[in-house]
Amino acid sequence: MAKVKTTFFCQNCGSQYAKWQGQCTACKAWNTIVEEVVQKADKSDWKMSTSVTNKRLSKPLLINEIDSTQETRLQTNDSEFNRVLGGGIVPGSLTLLGGEPGIGKSTLLLQIALKLPYKTLYISGEESQKQIKMRAERINPDNSNCYILTETKTQNIFKQIEATEPDIVVVDSIQTLHSDYIESSAGSISQIKECTTELIKFAKETSTPVLLIGHITKDGHIAGPKILEHMVDTVLQFEGDRNHVFRILRANKNRFGSTNELGIYEMQGSGLREVTNPSEVLISKKDDELSGNAVAVTLEGMRPLLIEVQALVSTAVYGTPQRSATGFNAKRLNMLLAVLEKRAGFRLGAKDVFLNITGGINVDDPAIDLAVIAAILSSNEDEALQKDFCFAAEVGLSGEIRPVQRVEQRILEAEKLGYSAIFVSKYNTISLKNATIRIQKISKIEDLVRFIAH
């Protein structure tokens, strides 16, 4: 009988302690440290079968001897998912997908599994095979490559993997798995670490990519130890409001691609539809010109987006004016208001200012500063901007209009969507010669004020 070992883990951050204490010294959370029984059994490999003897031994190689040819990525039939991953699924990689309950994590990965041209094993610890079949019939009823397995014990899962030999493995979710090597309940810190370690070893030895679904805490972080995000190769975040139809897929970590890419989906009865032209979705269709609306050209990774900025400036009813921003940094909004007051002479100290980025997305690109200023001025003067004008520039504390990166790509996107003029910084170097859109260069915030006033 192996010796029983007990350790104490913080259920919030995963820190380990030799004895119980009331507060975690790492994350400062109270009453989150619990005792877990860890009983290690002898184990040699993730494979339980002894028939396989061609175990590959790792040996050091000179860096010049290593084959530098890139492995071919596995292409899914989802262009948005491919873009966020950096061009497809890398063989032998572990990808972790997190998001709010009911946001569509299981639907997204089931949809990808059903549309893949490769043999796929979809492992679920939360739903039965019949329940998954009901959802699959809405998404893609005719599929002969996807196998469904309902199992939570990792030893049984690896036996089925050995028998099926899939090209891709999907696990829903990592918090439901448990291993015989750890004597604690599923979802605990030690179980998540052990199950993930076994999956990593399997993925690296067989070059089989594994897609994991992870639950999140009430703070929005992926549940379990923080080391889970360090262990996997890619961490994806699935965002959106369950009251709206649009979902956004972001990469928080990606060892094989950019973390700035963005994928947009629309939730429908038949699954998630890819939004290939998000600019048309993020800009509302209206016939009347309304004050307080401005269009900004932003970048998410390599993709230019046109988003609509809405502002409302009204007289403060209470003594203290309100400053509210949705989808935009509230501190940056206060900074831009201070610049308007100091450099342009607008008295906004006794007025409420509300700002909203339409479409339910969060933007941190400083290039939307000029659009925010234009929307606030438009609402304050109650004068509508021309709906075929757009903006792409950063605003400095001294009121100067600062240049932004890849401005030519932004100009071409605005031109493609039919805009007649774009406002950029005077200090941007632009070499476009055949552009039909009018490029309005300004250097100070006063130039924009004079243009709007006229």
Binding residues for ATP: 99-106
Local structure of residue 402 (DSSP, 8 states):
E
Nearest Cα neighbor of 354 from 297, 309, 287, 307 is 309
Cis peptide before 314 (omega within 30 of 0): no
Helices 154-164, 189-206: crossing angle, 10 deg rounding: 20
Contact (Cβ atoms closer than 8 angstroms) between residue 7 and residue 36: yes
Task: Kindly state the helix (H) or strand (E) to which residue 313 belongs, with its residue range.
Answer: strand 303-315
- Residue 434 DSSP SS3: coil
**Angle, helix 129-139 to helix 105-115, in steps of 10 degrees:** 70
Q: Which amino acid is at 353?
A: V
Cα distance between residue 8 and residue 145, in whole Å:
43
Question: From the annotation, which residues make up the binding site?
Answer: 99-106
CA distance 369 to 349: 19
| Strands laid side by side in the 168-172 sheet | 146-150, 120-124, 168-172, 210-214, 94-99, 234-240, 246-254, 262-268, 271-274
**Helices and strands per DSSP (H, E), number in the chain:** 11, 21
Round to whole Å and give the CA distance between 278 and 97: 22
Partners of 249 in beta bridges? 238, 263
63-72, long-range: CB within 8 Å, 24+ apart, which pairs?
A: 71/207
Angle (deg, nearest 10), helices 369-381 and 330-343: 60
- Can you tell me which residue has the tokens 């500063």? 369
CB 239 within 8 A of CB 250: yes
d(CA 111, CA 336): 43
Q: Which of 314, 320, 73, 333 is nearest to 209 (CA)?
A: 73
The letter for the amino acid at 154 is T
Check if the beta carbon of residue 425 is closer than 8 Å to that of residue 393.
yes
State how far the Cα of 444 lies from the Cα of 427, in Å rounded to an integer: 11
